[in-house]
Copies of this chain bind each other. A is one copy, B any other.
Amino acid sequence: VSTDRSTPFTQFQQEIMMSIILSRPAGKEIVFDQDGPPSPIRFFESMNAHQRSAALKAAIELELFTAIRETSGTVPEIAARINASKRGVRALCDFLVVLGFLGKYIEGAESSYSLTTESAIFLDKGSPQYVGCAAVFLGSDYLTEGFKNFSDVVRAGGPLSDQRHASQELPLWVDFARSMAPMLFPVAELTAGLIQLPPKPRVLDIAASHGLFGIMVAKRHPEATITAVDFPSVLTVARESAERFGVLDRYISLAGDALEVPLGSNFDVAIVSNLIHHWDREIIHKMLTRLHEALRPGGQVVLIEFVPNEDRVSPPIPAWFVMNMLANTPGGDNYTLAEHTDMLERAGFSSVSSHPLTPTAETAIVAMKI
């Protein structure tokens, strides 16, 4: 599209902009962010963005990516393999090309689809790094329901039902443990690489879930023992993981609510992954104080979180994460490093440091009990 950069606005639009500028409160800025002619296409795309989630969820459920690897990638072959209509397969595959999940090759009247490297690694069920199962949790009714009447959520300042709470033993947490494990595997590996431990370390894994954070530490430290805290139904999943990774003999289950169950004492490190964000500051203070008591002097707490910059609008994924907390928790937040530091220091911790776990979108925040 060729655009005359010197006059991106029509006269009509210039008049609108001028009236806005003249009527704005003193000191109020307007973001002139346009390169080309203003258009409502961003609005249109965002209103339709729900179709992206629907398309990807369907592709995962139908094992479309696996079928593309296993066939020559033409519409009739894919459709036969996944037992779906040709009309549906063609539309879905074309849209997945638009979204960057597939490539398309055209030779004369024949066309075929291929996996991108990302899709081959993460979305083909035959790949050891398959994460498609995360669609079960991310696309669950529980997580998406809060976005259905979202203006009511914004008005109320939180979920409309009060059953949404990290301190309840819900089937959701078993789904999370089972389906999110592959996505969290690299996060857990990077975290284990950060933690310095003495001989025969004792590790506390709070809200252990799939168990990977504690288990990855156990893999690196053959003398470590892991105490995993979670609800009984969730600990079943963690113990399965511990067995699969050959560390079950050093794996201690502590069933209960992490805010209530006696944790024991003299731990060298306490890992708290993707939990703190569910709570308001008061509940977090209770949790951090309990961890401070459970650690030995010199012991460390490690929080794994989506931590936005202090502007709260970057980087995109940690900033975006606040939407989940608004829709699904009464008081949770994507706390910044300054907020985490403040909360940790109030609970008695010091030497707070932050470690982005790139290429994942999460950050490890480490603090010490002196």
List chain A positions with a Cβ less than 8 A from chain B: 1, 12-13, 16-17, 20, 23-25, 27-34, 36-58, 61-62, 69, 71-73, 83-89, 91-92, 94-95, 97-106, 111-112, 114-118, 120-124, 127-129, 131-132, 134-135, 138-139, 144, 147-148, 150-151, 153-158, 183, 311-314, 316-317, 319-320, 322-327, 358-361
Contact = CB atoms under 8 A, between A and B. Distances in A.
A95 B319 contact: yes
Contact of A44 (B45, B103, B311, B317): B317
B40 A147 contact: no
A322 B95 contact: yes
Contacts of A34: 117-118
B85 A154 contact: yes
* Copies held by the complex: 2
A31 B87 contact: no
A104 B134 CA distance: 33
Contact of A147 (B42, B51, B99, B156): B51
Contact of A92 (B62, B72, B123, B154): B154
A96 to B, nearest CB: 9
Given A16-B128, A49-B49, 14 more contacts: A20-B69, A20-B115, A25-B71, A33-B103, A37-B359, A48-B138, A50-B50, A50-B52, A58-B151, A58-B154, A84-B155, A94-B312, A95-B323, A98-B313
A179 B49 CA distance: 19
B151 A57 contact: yes
